Amino acid sequence: MVQEYGLFIDGKWRKSEGKRFETRNPATGEVLATFPLATKDELGGAAHAAKGAFEKWRKTTAPRRGEILLEAARIFRRKKEELGRVVTTEMGKVIAEGRGDVQEVIDFYEYAAGEGRRMFGETVPSELPNKMCLTVRMPVGPVGLITPWNFPMAIPAWKSGAALIAGCPFVLKPSSLTPLCAAKLVEVLDEAGFPPGVVNLLTGSGSVVGDGLVAHPDLRVISFTGGVDTGRHVYETAAKKMIKVGLELGGKNPIIAMDDANLELLMDGVMFGAFGTAGQRCTASSRLIVHQKIYDQVVDDLAKRAEKLRVGNPIDEKTDMGPVASADQEKKVLEYIEIGRKEGDTLITGGKKLAGGVYDKGFFIAPTVFAVDRRKRLALEEIFGPVLSVLKAKDFDDAVAIANSVKYGLSSSIYTNDLRWAFRAMQELEAGITYVNAPTIGAEVQLPFGGVKETGPTDTREAGTTALDEFTYWKTIYVDYSGRLQRAQIDTAKLTGG
Ligand code: NDP
């Protein structure tokens, strides 16, 4: 029986006037549930509900907000297996990663709940006597959250956890490929006890619901994760409204392999970084930049290792790599493979859609490795699939130049046992994240996450305490308890004897 979902507005699941769409398992084609394409009126209703809930929610103390968030984390912990399976069946990542998606929700909700008892500001000395100066975080108001499909519970949780603890009611618009994961997340938040209007969910197309949220006059922040082109459009629309936006966009993340690297460790990292989540992570290791001295051996090892990966139904514990998430994703990745061929890149392994048996029902692509020239499109553009581009570098400086030659700057990595290269990479790689002797994936929730250049034009960071920056503004407070008028910059001269 396929479940029919409504929209979650003002504390209730509601029927929609809009048409419906299906969400499917990308490994089997099975329909999992149907969802409404929210109408403009319904969008207005959700934004209105969030606005209406703001006054009460911001006055609920942050530790109390944290308690409810902690309850949500507890429910997620209890339902981890069930929800991990939902992630895998709707999005297609292997079951260990499906559970990982849910674990990330638990981790961040617990972390954010703790922030309810911290949310530190500063106390700063005054230049005048009997005067106190401090800063406090204030919630910005009702907000809109727009999320992609590749971390279908974790990314909505990063955004919603930060908004909720900051005191901001939200309207979430998830990717149309993974509405079921978002609905399950909202069910948990409802069960945890958030007041009506604080949590709202709209499903529907990006161009109607997403765009409508960004333009809506009641929403004071838009937190967006997705592709660069959509992000640019969101940025422009939000600028017209003069509101704050958080943008987490694409990546073309490099691993640099120096000639002294531990090759076994490198190969384990590259397989996980390039083919984990079928390469559909914004932090995926999509470029491997190899020192010329070890290049031939690395290419040889790569082919052997990639060919050993077991591609199949992601719900099977033995599967290493599942399908890509949709027919469109499959088309895009196969187009890039074709571009590689046409531009003269050397195909080392893979390079095709898998067919026969279980493969005929889903979107399966062989783990693919190309040897690529640094000026070619496969070296520069985000593919977002199981395609690794290998590039040859003359030395460290050349490797860093190649790494920094793309428009993105999310994650980066170097494999070396030489401290000089490790520390220079930390300084010289243009990226929001640098790993040493680990691949470009593996973010932990207690640290800032985000990028530079076209990955992160707004310089916002999710996770860590920095997650609060998106949803709060700083208020500076001066308390003068001297009982007389004290004039900053003017009366100070007397006090210093000047
Ligand atoms: P998209 O940019 O296509 O979509 C992201 C979200 O935006 C979806 O909810 C989509 O809705 C919505 N959307 C689409 N058009 C508009 C619009 N005009 N106005 C407002 N919202 C809109 O990205 P994908 O979902 O395909 O995700 C893949 C991309 O996300 C990759 O480029 C990847 O690098 C990036 N990403 C970045 C991360 C980071 O932290 N830097 C993390 C994860 C992914 P709908 O689904 O209905 O079209």
Q: Please, which residues bridge with residue 137 across strands?
A: 474
pLDDT > 80? residue 193: yes
- pLDDT at position 497 is 57
Q: Which of 110, 181, 282, 462 is catalytic?
A: 282
pLDDT > 70? residue 496: no
The residue contributing the CA closest to ligand 1 atom 4 is 226
Active site residue 168: no
Q: What is the CATH number of domain 3-249+457-476?
A: 3.40.605.10
Ligand 1, pocket-test mutation among 37, 277, 282, 384, most atoms within 8 A of CB: 282
The residue contributing the CA closest to ligand 1 atom 39 is 248
Ligand 1, pocket-test mutation among 23, 90, 150, most atoms within 8 A of CB: 150
Q: Which one, of 228, 289, 220, lies nearest residue 261 by Cα?
A: 289
- pLDDT at position 493 is 72
Asked if residue 365 lies in contact with residue 345, where contact means CB atoms within 8 angstroms, the answer is no
- pLDDT at position 367 is 98
Burial of 409 (0-12, 13-18, 19+ CB in 10 A): buried
C-alpha R_g of the chain: 24
Ligand 1, pocket-test mutation among 93, 145, 175, most atoms within 8 A of CB: 175
Asked if residue 52 lies in contact with residue 197, where contact means CB atoms within 8 angstroms, the answer is yes
Q: Which of 71, 104, 248, 462 is catalytic?
A: 248
How far, in Å, is the centroid of ligand 1 from the Cα of 225? 6
**CA 272-277-281 angle, 5° bins:** 95
- pLDDT at position 287 is 98
The residue contributing the CA closest to ligand 1 atom 20 is 210
The residue contributing the CA closest to ligand 1 atom 15 is 206
The pTM score is 0.97
Q: Ligand 1 in contact with 286 (CB < 6 A)? A: no
Question: What rounded mean pLDDT belongs to the chain?
Answer: 97
- pLDDT at position 1 is 80
- Residues in CB range of 236: below 8 A, 6 or more apart: none
The closest-lying atom of ligand 1 relative to the alpha carbon of residue 251 is: 34
The closest-lying atom of ligand 1 relative to the alpha carbon of residue 205 is: 47
Q: pLDDT digit string (tens) for 296-314? A: 999 999 999 999 999 999 9
Q: pLDDT digit string (tens) for 1-54? A: 899 999 999 999 999 999 999 999 999 999 999 999 999 999 999 999 999 999
Asked if residue 301 lies in contact with residue 398, where contact means CB atoms within 8 angstroms, the answer is no
Burial of 197 (0-12, 13-18, 19+ CB in 10 A): buried
Domain coordinates of the chain in residue numbers?
3-249+457-476, 253-436
pLDDT > 60? residue 486: yes
Tell which CATH architecture fits domain 253-436. 3-Layer(aba) Sandwich (3.40)
Q: Ligand 1 in contact with 211 (CB < 6 A)? A: yes
Q: Ligand 1 in contact with 410 (CB < 6 A)? A: yes
Pairing of strands 131-139, 123-124: antiparallel
- Residues in CB range of 487: below 8 A, 6 or more apart: none
Q: pLDDT digit string (tens) for 230-285? A: 999 999 999 999 999 999 999 999 999 999 999 999 999 999 999 999 999 999 99
How far, in Å, is the centroid of ligand 1 from the Cα of 98? 19
How far, in Å, is the centroid of ligand 1 from the Cα of 328? 13
pLDDT > 90? residue 113: yes
- pLDDT at position 265 is 98
SS (H, E, C) 424-475: HHHHHCCCCEEEECCCCCCCCCCCCECCCHHHCCCCCCECCCCHHHHHEEEE
- pLDDT at position 7 is 98
Length of the chain: 498
